[in-house]
Amino acid sequence: MRQTFVLLTALCVAAPASAQTTTRDWRPDERTVIGDFSRITALAASSERVYIVSPSAVLIWNPQFRRWEGSFDPPEPSLLARVISGLADPLDNSLWLARQNGWTHYQPDIQLWDQGLIPDGVVGFAFDQDNPGAGLYFRTRREWLLLPRGGAVPVPSSGPTRPLAPATVDQALRSNPALQANAAAVLTDNRLRSVRYTAAARAFDNRGWYLGTSGIGALYADDGAAIPHRLDFGLPADQVGAVFSWPGGVWVGTNRTPFADAALTFVGTDLTEFRSLPGPSAVGTPFDQIRDLAGQGKSIWAATNQGVARVNPAGGRVQLIDEGRGLPDNRAYSIVSRAGRITVGTERGVARISDSLEVDRIAPAYNDAAYAVYPAGDSTWVGTPSGIRLALPGLADLVRPEGLSSPSLQTPVIDLTMVGDTLVALTRDSFLWRDPRTRRWALGPNLSALLGRLRRFALDGAGFWLAGDRGLGYARLSAPPLRTLRDGDLPGAINDLGVDRDHLWVATDRGLVRFRLSDIRP
């Protein structure tokens, strides 16, 4: 009776996992999701690939060409849940993962995921070195089961004659005692918290060990090496609050989580460079959320929930400008570098910050929220809860520009930019812009019906990429959205957008997404 239950369960779940709704089947070079790879649950090494598994995605390191592939997120999060070990298939180099209650199989060459359940639970698994074509053996609490090649149902078996099983951390430490002796120096994160080794895989060339950890990512140690080196890929956390284009890549702001401090990370355009600035050791960054980013000179400026931070990428020094230094409010929403000036919008007004970090209030009588700012000459356009306002030199309060008296034009403005001489604003539902010749304001068609409540936009060519609660699309000022991306195209809610020559970068609650523009432009 128990064997029949195993059979029925496997038949129900061993078929290829159903994908989330996507607008297309993405190739890795077209769409890449970059997330948190600080916590590693499994490793597996083959002649061509080293698989690095996190709770949410799989990453591949090519040791021969020293380059990354991926990361690859499964169609269902459950495929990477409760993983206990990994093993590379000796015949086709695909990835097998043992889970506490089953298995996951990932074939990167054809981008196919499948899975199965084993009700008795999985203790371990292995191939038979004498007959790897027979299939994969699973050790349960009661017996061995064999999943035949091409099969979907594990059947009782006598077990492998010469097991090819996953390596263990204990094996790696016994092979190189220096790893254990130097654990105190190696297994410490930026906040001086202890982490542990979680997984190990012997390099295919038998010259070293790959090691996974619970907080500092993947490591590699040559045989006899006293200190392993990090294989840097990914972000300190999945919650990405802001992204900003920079020569050679983008700067990414991630928010504080139970496992990581808020941080700035430089991501190279080709994903070969990842450099994080998590703040001083043991203290971390003095803020929890990064809401917007700007650059001036060699510094990165961040609008955060605790003020405005100026960060020196060379040394990682963080200087915070808050209410105690004259900022109208610690809750900063937007920041813009233009004409050598830093302008910031906060929960209670607008300010300008000099290179010497002196704060000058703009329209000091205005004490409401400034969701967006855009300096233009001596004036500053401001997006407020009641529409567009303008700060003029010598005036203590913001003024409402002529032509915006209609109630339909006094909705919250959440983003601003200038296209040539045309000021363009984003409301929760549509574009609002001013014709520089006629000085008349125009309200575009409704965009939120398709994309959800709008959040951000980014200029690209003759139009804009728009982020809403329900997806991402491309639109021109007087036209509806085109080429909508949603559901499985995006791993989480969108917080920010960035565009460079070749890519659209999307900051979400579940990682940074890089789309190749040539593949998504209408």
> How far are the Cα atoms of 470, 489, 517 from residue 27, in angstroms, in the given order?
23, 12, 13
Q: What is the pLDDT of residue 244?
A: 97
Q: What is the pLDDT of residue 21?
A: 56
Interatomic CA distance for residues 423 and 375, integer angstroms: 11
Token readout for 214 is 């619970």
Summarize pLDDT for 388-444 with one digit per residue, the tens.
999 999 999 999 999 998 988 999 999 999 998 899 999 999 999 998 888 899 999
Interatomic CA distance for residues 48 and 52, integer angstroms: 13
Q: What is the pLDDT of residue 14?
A: 38
> Once rounded to an integer, what is the mean pLDDT over residues 67-81?
89
In a domain, 27, yes or no: yes
Would the pLDDT of 12 be above 50? no
> Once rounded to an integer, what is the mean pLDDT over residues 50-66?
93
Summarize pLDDT for 350-387 with one digit per residue, the tens.
999 999 999 999 999 999 999 999 999 899 999 999 99
> Once rounded to an integer, what is the mean pLDDT over residues 1-8?
33
Q: State the DSSP code for 21.
A: P
| CATH assignment of the domain containing 11 | 2.130.10.10
Q: What is the pLDDT of residue 18?
A: 39
Q: Say if CB 356 and CB 329 are below 8 A apart.
A: no
Task: For residue 8, count other CB atoms closer than 10 A to its CB.
Answer: 11
> Once rounded to an integer, what is the mean pLDDT over residues 140-144?
91
Model confidence, pTM: 0.88
Summarize pLDDT for 309-355 with one digit per residue, the tens.
999 999 889 999 999 999 999 999 999 999 888 999 999 999 999 99
Could you tell me if 477 and 331 lie in one domain? yes
Would you mind telling me the total number of residues written for the chain in this entry?
Answer: 522
* AA identity, residue 156: P
> Once rounded to an integer, what is the mean pLDDT over residues 63-77?
88
Q: State the DSSP code for 399.
A: B
> Once rounded to an integer, what is the mean pLDDT over residues 69-83?
90
Would the pLDDT of 215 be above 80? yes
Q: Which of 217, 238, 236 is nearest to 507 (CA)?
A: 238
In a domain, 42, yes or no: yes
Q: What is the pLDDT of residue 241?
A: 97
Chain mean pLDDT for the chain:
91
Which residue among 173, 192, 222 closes a domain? Answer: 173
- Residue 343 pairs in a beta bridge with 336, 352
Summarize pLDDT for 156-168 with one digit per residue, the tens.
999 899 999 999 9
Which residue among 142, 173, 204 closes a domain? Answer: 173
Q: What is the pLDDT of residue 258?
A: 86
| Residue 23's pLDDT band (cuts 50, 70, 90) | low
Q: What is the pLDDT of residue 10?
A: 37
Which of the two residues, 281 and 491, has the higher pLDDT score?
A: 491
In a domain, 324, yes or no: yes
Could you tell me if 162 and 295 lie in one domain? no
Q: Say if CB 502 and CB 250 are below 8 A apart.
A: no
In a domain, 197, yes or no: no
In a domain, 233, yes or no: no
Would the pLDDT of 193 be above 90? no
Interatomic CA distance for residues 205 and 89, integer angstroms: 16
Q: Which of 275, 287, 319, 285 is nearest to 301 (CA)?
A: 319
Would the pLDDT of 7 be above 90? no
Burial of 29 (0-12, 13-18, 19+ CB in 10 A): exposed
Cβ-defined contacts of 27-32 (< 8 Å, 24+): 28/69, 28/70, 28/72, 29/516, 30/515, 30/516, 30/519, 30/520, 31/489, 31/513, 31/514, 31/515, 31/516, 31/519, 32/70, 32/71, 32/271, 32/513, 32/514
Q: How many helices (H) and strands (E) does the chain have?
A: 6, 44
In a domain, 474, yes or no: yes
Which residues lie closer than 8 Å to 458 by C-beta, 6 or more apart? 464, 465, 497, 498, 499, 504
In a domain, 289, yes or no: yes
Total number of domains in the chain: 2
Summarize pLDDT for 231-285 with one digit per residue, the tens.
989 999 999 999 999 999 999 999 999 888 999 999 999 998 999 988 877 778 9
Could you tell me if 314 and 445 lie in one domain? yes
SS3 content of the chain, % helix, strand, coil (to 5): 10, 45, 45
* AA identity, residue 502: D
Which residue among 140, 173, 206 closes a domain? Answer: 173
- The percentage of residues in the chain with a pLDDT greater than 90, rounded to a whole number, is 74
Q: Which 3-state string (H, E, C) describes 138-187? A: EECCCCEEEEECCCCCCEEECCCCCEECCCCHHHHHHHCHHHHHCHHHHC
Q: State the DSSP code for 322.
A: -
Which residues lie closer than 8 Å to 27 by C-beta, 6 or more apart? none
In a domain, 199, yes or no: no
> Once rounded to an integer, what is the mean pLDDT over residues 38-65?
94
Q: Which of 431, 391, 390, 435 is nearest to 409 (CA)?
A: 431
Range(s) of the domain holding residue 451: 240-520
Would the pLDDT of 19 be above 60? no
Instruction: Please provide the DSSP assignment of 273-301 as one string.
Output: -EEEE--STTT--S-S-EEEEEEETTEEE
Interatomic CA distance for residues 221 and 252, integer angstroms: 29
